[in-house]
C-alpha cells in the first residue's frame, strides 16, 4: 500500500513539473541568440525626442514610442558598448542620443539606424587618474562637451 501511494505521489509531482515547462515558459530561442533578464523598474535619467521617451536604468536604456507606448530595450545585445548607465541626453537637432556610463565610457546612439558610436576617450586615457566620472554632458552638432571631475 505504501508503494502505491509513493508511486501515485511521484507521478503527480512529475505531471506538475512537466506541465510547468511549456512553450510559454521557454520561448523559441535559437543557438547563438540571447534573451535578456534585466531589471527595468528603476529609472535614473529620462530624456525624450519628438517621437520617443528614453529612460536609463542601471543596466541599459528603455526606448518607449510615444504613439503606441511600445518599449524597445537597448543593451549590449542591441549594440551598446557597455553596461552601468550614467546620464542620457537626446539632441533633437541631430536626432542622436548621448549615453554615458558609470565607468566614463560614452556612446552616441542613432535611433534611425539602431547603431551606436563608441567614444572611450576618458576610459582609455591613462594620463587621467582619480575620479573620471562624467557629471553632465551636452551634444551639439559637431561638439561633445562633458564636465567631469578630471577637469575636462
Please report which helix (H) or strand (E) contains residue 150, including its range: none
Mean pLDDT, the chain, whole residue set: 77
* Interior/surface letters 102-117, b for 16+ CB within 10 angstroms, e for the rest: bebbbbbbebeeeebe
Q: How far apart are CA 63 and CA 8, in angstroms?
A: 51
β-bridge mates for residue 134, sequence order: 148
Q: Are 139 and 94 in contact (CB under 8 A)?
A: yes
Could you read off the pLDDT of 34-53 as tens digits, one per residue? 777 777 778 888 999 999 99
Q: Are 98 and 56 in contact (CB under 8 A)?
A: no
Could you read off the pLDDT of 63-114 as tens digits, one per residue? 999 999 998 889 888 888 888 888 898 988 888 898 888 888 888 899 999 8
Which CATH class name applies to 40-145?
mainly beta
Amino acid at each position: 500500500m505504501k508503494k502505491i501511494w509513493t508511486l501515485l505521489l511521484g507521478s503527480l509531482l512529475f505531471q506538475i513539473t512537466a506541465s510547468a515547462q511549456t512553450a510559454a515558459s521557454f520561448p523559441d530561442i535559437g543557438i547563438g541568440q540571447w534573451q535578456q533578464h534585466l531589471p527595468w523598474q528603476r529609472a535614473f535619467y529620462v530624456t525624450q525626442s519628438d517621437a520617443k521617451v528614453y529612460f536609463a536604468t542601471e543596466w541599459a536604456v528603455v526606448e518607449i514610442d510615444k504613439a503606441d507606448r511600445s518599449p524597445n530595450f537597448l543593451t549590449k545585445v542591441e549594440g551598446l558598448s557597455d553596461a552601468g548607465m550614467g546620464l542620457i541626453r537626446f539632441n533633437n537637432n541631430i536626432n542622436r542620443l548621448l549615453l554615458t556610463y558609470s565607468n566614463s565610457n560614452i556612446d552616441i546612439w542613432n535611433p534611425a539606424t539602431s547603431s551606436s558610436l563608441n567614444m572611450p576617450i576618458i576610459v582609455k586615457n591613462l594620463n587621467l587618474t582619480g575620479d573620471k566620472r562624467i557629471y553632465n554632458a551636452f551634444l551639439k552638432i559637431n561638439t561633445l562637451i562633458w564636465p567631469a571631475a578630471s577637469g575636462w
